[in-house]
Structure formats: structure tokens, C-alpha cells
Amino acid sequence: MLPLAFFIITILFLYCIFKPFVGITTSAWDIFSSEIRSDDTEIYNDIFTENALLGYEGTVKASDITYPTFGSIYGKIEIFTNNTVYEVPLVYGDEKYTLKKGGGQYLGSHFPGEGTTILVSGHNTSYFNCLKYTKVGEIIEITTNYGKYKYEIIDISPKHKTDKTAFDLNAKKETLVLYTCYPFDAVGYKVERYYVTATLVSGPKIDPYN
């Protein structure tokens, strides 16, 4: 019995010594594995390239376009304001972890060139902090691998987050809506959103029937 008791005491002693290190290792693995899950390479299959097939005009066949998967970067937003050009990656999807990569497009909205509303959100502490400088009449451009799109800002307004007049996903003309939390310098939960609405000036149309 004495050797068995000694063995049990030794095991308990070693467990007490190494328990903190086991906890640290486990926590580190949890963090690492969660990062793998939220950065799945199959989901984040970025397709954006600077070498656009078209410039600002023309028509592109829908069959020639590689549409993005959820979480992938498929374009670049350039906001021309405050004597500066602010570049923001355009990500397909507006979940919490996709917004870490850039401006996130709402999945229920449309792609540039489809002739209706493109709705994109971003954090006011990072990518969309520059929206506070924007003015009516200024230009926003979107570059994708199938063309370049130019939009002119026509309205800037803060609205309550539940305000259904802020945008129309079924609009009959192409409209780009960028929005972020408001006020910009407020701390904590915010119930208002800052909307920057721009209308299409130029860009290739997508032909859905080819």
C-alpha cells in the first residue's frame, strides 16, 4: 500500500506544479484554433486584382465574372476627400470578423454594375473613420477585377440604426451606400449610423443574360 500511496502523492504534486502551464497551453490553443476557424482559407479566397478587365465604360458578361465567396476581398474602395485618397478593401460579407479586413458588403445588396444598391459598412475607428470628412459632390471609386466604378456623393446624414429610409435595396438606379456607427467620438454602444450615399457616374454594366 505504501508504494501506491507514494505514487498517488507524487502524481498530485506534479499536477499542482504543472497545472498553470497546462492552462496557458490550452488557452493558447483555443485562441489559435479559433483564429483558424475564423480565417478559413476556403472562405477567404480573395479575388481582387489591380488589373481590371475594363475601365469605366462598356459592358461585361456575368458569365465572365468570378463572383466572390463570403469573406473574400473582391475590390478596392477609394474615398476622395479631405485632400486625401482613403483606400479601403471591399469585402463580401459584413460579419464582425470580416469587418477586420475592410468595408463589408451586406449580402442582401448588389454588386457594382448590377444597376441597384451596394450597401457597405465599416468600423468608425478604422476603415470608415474617414467618412466624417466626406462632403456632397465628392467622388468615391470602386475597382474590381471586372471594371472600375465612379460614384458622386449626393447625401450625407446620420440616422437611427432602425430607420428604413436610410437606403433602398431595390432601387432602380445604381447607388453606393457607405455607413458606420455615429457619433464618431462617442464611446460605447451607438444607436445611430452615419450614411454616405453616392450615385453612379460611370462604370461598366453587368449583362446578366450572358
Report domain extents, the chain.
1-38, 59-207
Query: Would the pTM of this model clear 0.75, i.e. be above it?
Result: yes
pLDDT tens-digit series, residues 30-69: 322 333 333 444 467 899 988 766 788 899 999 999 999 9
Q: What Å distances lie between residue 58 and 6, 61, 180, 202, 204, CA to CA? A: 84, 10, 32, 9, 5
Instruction: Report the share of the chain in percent with pLDDT over 70.
Output: 79
Tens digit of each residue's pLDDT (9 = 90 or more) over 135-183: 999 999 999 999 999 999 999 999 999 998 999 999 999 999 999 999 9
Distance of CA 47 to the CA centre of its chain: 14
Q: Dmax of the chain from CA atoms?
A: 89
What is residue 55's predicted lDDT score, i.e. its pLDDT? 85
pLDDT-wise least confident of 51-65, 92-106, 186-200: 51-65
Tens-place pLDDT, residues 7-23: 555 555 554 444 433 33
pLDDT: which is higher, 2 or 19:
2
Please provide the CATH number assigned to the domain covering 59-207.
2.40.260.10
